[in-house]
Amino acid sequence: MAKITMVQAVTNALDEELARDDKVLVFGEDVGNNGGVFRATDGLQKKYGDKRVFDTPLAESGIIALANGLATQGWRPVPEIQFSGFIFECFDEIAGQMARQRFRHAGSRTCPVTIRAPFGGGVHAIELHSDNVEGLLAQVPGLRVVVPSDPYDAKGLLISSVRSDDPVFFLEHMRIYRSFRQEVPDEAYTVPLDKAEVKREGSDVTIITYGYMVRESLNAAEDLAKEGINAEVVDLRTIAPLDEETILNEVKKTGRVVLVQEAQRLTGVMASVASLIAEDAILSLDAPIARVSAPDTPYPCSDAEGAWLPNKDDIIAAVKKTVNF
Amino acid sequence: MKKLDFESLKHNPEYKVLQVLDTDGKVVDKDLMPDLTDKELVELFKAMIWSRLVGDQTAKLSRQGRLGFFAPTAGEEASQMASNFAMDKGDFLLGAYRDIPQLVKHGLSLAKGFMWSKGHYNANDYPEELNALPPQIIIGAQYAQTAGVALGIKLNGKKNVAYTYTGDGGTSQGDFYEGINFAGAFHAPAVFIVQNNGYAISVPRKLQTAAPTLAQKGVAAGIPSMVVDGMDALAVYAAAKQAREYATEGNGPVLIETLTYRYGPHTLSGDDPTRYRTKEEEDEWHAKDPLVRMRKFLTDKGLWDDAKEEAYNAEVAKEIDDAIKEVESQPEQKASDLLKFEFVETPAAIQRQIDAYEEKEAK
């Protein structure tokens, strides 16, 4: 057991899977000799050779199409899209092709592809690098969308994703890559897909969130505890399809819910979570559902991130409003 | 400052149109004549007749409402059937929506081909041994995926190719270029076929690009390319067969442009070709009919006659009848089945919907 960062946990998971299954292929722009722009694939080409870990031409549609084609020949591709804002270049290959492969074959074929892409704000990246595109992906039937919030989950969820015979979009928040370390087992282990996790138990209010906002929510919960408000924090982990059971159970337990996402209000997945709660747990609510999210503009210039991104204070304010309703 | 000669900077490689049979069924290029046995020549011609008959019948059944979507193929039998005839069962086919004849001759049952037209999920319930993807609706996607299939074949060390088709309009897509470029960069065994029938729905070929040939687009990927008389089955076969050999020998992909024509509309979904084509133009292409010249060639060799053709027509009519009966005996499609096809490991949220639909369907 070592204390490692999330980006090391990602490398670790890819290393485990490349070693375990010789059908696993890792490829993308600069993932080979260079080891990735975030070093997420560092050392893997040297260890497994350029037939298993390789660079591609600079074309996202070609990359995901390559993955979809390789999957027909029994390979288990783990392609990388360098930054989340570039998925528009390959949206047909994701939504029009990969996600419906099993469905359109009436179950007679599978498409075991795991796409990795960094995303998320707070690192002052240039335009179309940080965009929260997970809501678009979450609206694609047939696709699982996984967003880990810490190194332990990142390793276990990535191993589960690579082993899954269904396609997975695995989003890695750039602000979590190196901002903290966590104890992570050296050996392979899995964290189940489709399962949310209660990261902090609480009895007064349920904060439901994912990605980097899990950190902000946990910090908010610590501050709130000092004021006698006991908030629980649920990390969705798989944001599509949703873990409806955990969401409904936790909301019923506290009767108060605050939904927190970094994405703009009209994007992300919290509108879906809110509608689920309204449909199936409304009689358990003691206060209206509160939502914390970014303004409905395109992702801002990097210097405006501080004004634009939701943070701990926004979460605390929303929780207090809900608790005092 | 020296004046640059822009006209000389245009890159227009010379392509001689490859042809073996002229419109009278006479061999005009003995050197390119493919090495086919008499039996194989007849088999190839039968595949072309089969395609014409199945196409005619599909159009009728579609108009009667017994089948659905159909993109006519009449006129393209040499381009489609002869290229497919050059491939091996172990090769992987990625066709577009007009390439159902190749798919059926590659191993899909005709009944499933018809089910695809009708819109029944069993159409794409593929047998394990069928090396193909269902017809692609997103123009260009099949090209981009072909590079991946071909790389997969190469990594598996198999002596096979991935082969794919698009039309003239499809060459304008980004995925068209990405596909041939990726296959080139990975030296992957792929055969890319562009069936240039002159029109993308109503838009003539000359509005797609200023390039005088579509084959020369291969230059941008650094791969070999050629133009073939797409109404000449033997020329198409010769080109496809040699491209396949070149690719399986580890040399990388090839791009083939076939010059062809569709006699019918773009699809049966409301397209009216009289808006954009003239009778004279259609007559000109009917005179180049791939079946007519192949029939003359085989008749001259004593390999074909009217009696043989009548007998074969009857055989195909029976095959079509049987296939339609199978289509019409398919189970009704249920929402719960559709939900079950979505994931290998069904998430709880989807299972909840399956349960709800099964309850509704049981009533």
Interchain CB distance below 8 Å, B134 and A104? yes
Tell me if A101 sits within 8 A of A66, measured CB to CB. no
Whether the per-residue pLDDT at A1 is higher than 90: the answer is no
Whether the per-residue pLDDT at A42 is higher than 90: the answer is yes
Nearest to A105 among B124, B141, B348 (CB): B124
Whether the per-residue pLDDT at B11 is higher than 90: the answer is no
Locate A244 and state its tokens.
């409806």
Mean pLDDT calculated for residue range B12-28: 96
Whether the per-residue pLDDT at B202 is higher than 90: the answer is yes
- Chain A residues whose beta carbon lies within 8 Å of the beta carbon of residue B148: 65-72
Q: One-letter amino acid identity for B247?
A: A
Mean pLDDT calculated for residue range A252-265: 98
Minimal CA separation from A10 to chain B, in Å: 23
CB atoms under 10 Å from CB of B269, counted, come to 11
Integer Cα distance of A100 and A6 in angstroms: 30
Give tens-digit pLDDT for B211-239.
999 999 999 999 999 999 999 999 999 99
Q: Is the ipTM of this complex over 0.90?
A: yes
Interchain CB distance below 8 Å, B342 and A110? no
Mean pLDDT calculated for residue range B99-116: 98
For residue A67, what pLDDT is reported?
A: 98
Mean pLDDT calculated for residue range A107-135: 97
Q: Percent of chain A having pLDDT more than 90?
A: 100
Interchain CB distance below 8 Å, A107 and B148? no
Give tens-digit pLDDT for B154-163.
999 999 999 9
Mean pLDDT calculated for residue range A13-30: 98
Mean pLDDT calculated for residue range B83-99: 98
Interchain CB distance below 8 Å, A106 and B345? no
Interchain CB distance below 8 Å, A65 and B141? yes
Minimal CA–CA distance to B214: which of B185, B133, B248, B206? B206
- Chain B residues whose beta carbon lies within 8 Å of the beta carbon of residue A66: 144-145, 147-148, 151, 182
For residue B12, what pLDDT is reported?
A: 86
Residues A295, A296, A299, A301, CA torsion sign? negative
Integer Cα distance of B22 and A162 in angstroms: 55
Chain B, 121 to 150: residues with Cβ < 8 Å from chain A are 121-122, 124-127, 133-134, 138, 141, 144-150
Mean pLDDT calculated for residue range B273-292: 95
Interchain CB distance below 8 Å, B156 and A165? no
Give tens-digit pLDDT for B112-140.
999 999 999 999 999 999 999 999 999 99
Mean pLDDT calculated for residue range A203-213: 98
Integer Cα distance of B347 and A158 in angstroms: 17
Give tens-digit pLDDT for A50-71.
999 999 999 999 999 999 999 9
Q: Is B266 among the catalytic positions?
A: yes
Give buried/exposed letters for B287-308 (b at 16+ CB in 10 A, else e). ebbbbebbbbbbeeeeebeeee
Q: Is A102 on the interface with B (CB under 8 A)?
A: yes
Whether the per-residue pLDDT at B57 is higher than 90: the answer is yes
Q: Is B340 on the interface with A (CB under 8 A)?
A: yes
- Chain A residues whose beta carbon lies within 8 Å of the beta carbon of residue B124: 104-106, 108
- Chain A residues whose beta carbon lies within 8 Å of the beta carbon of residue B92: 72-73
Question: Would you list the DSSP string of A58-72?
Answer: S-HHHHHHHHHHHHH
For residue B23, what pLDDT is reported?
A: 96
Give tens-digit pLDDT for A185-204.
999 999 999 999 999 999 99
Strand partners, A170: A116, A146
Interchain CB distance below 8 Å, B144 and A102? no
